[in-house]
Amino acid sequence: MTYEKNVVSGNTTMLILKLLEGQDMYGYQIIDEILKKSGNTFNLKTGTLYPIMHGLEKDGMVTSYDETAESGRARKYYRLTNKGKALLLKKESEWKLYVNAVNRLMSGGEVNAFG
């Protein structure tokens, strides 16, 4: 990551699921999209992404299928399942709670906007 690893930890799966909510994608494309859409902030490594994708597939959160691009390159596309959509909702809600709690702490305990 462009970031200290520790700042980032834990939300990568949520970001991946969110992208797949929009459309099916292959691994390299997910890395590119996350880099672009985050304003060059999240530079996910293949050593991080592929194991996550394999885990998501094993757990039934995504399914995969192979396709050959016009370029001739073989690509493995991932599609979000209903189970994966449910996990995304859960992770979104956890993320919101977490951000709110941090913001409360960072603004001295009152409810107000930090950032």
Partner DNA sequence: ATAATATATGTAGATAATCTATTTATATTT
Partner DNA sequence: AAATATAAATAGATTATCTACATATATTAT
- By the rule CB under 8 A, 61 interacts with a second copy: no
Q: How far apart are CA 57 and CA 39, in angstroms?
A: 28
Q: What angle do CA 4, 13, 73 make, to 5 degrees?
A: 100
Report in angstroms how near the CB of residue 3 gets to DNA at its nearest.
Answer: 7
Radius of gyration of the chain (CA): 16
φ, ψ for residue 82, nearest 5 deg: -60, -40
Provide the binding-site residues for DNA, judged by CB under 7 A.
1, 3, 5-6, 8-13, 26-29, 43-48, 50-54, 69, 71-77
Provide the binding-site residues for a second copy, judged by CB under 8 A.
3-11, 14-15, 18-19, 22, 34, 36-39, 41-42, 91-92, 94-102, 104-106, 108-109, 115
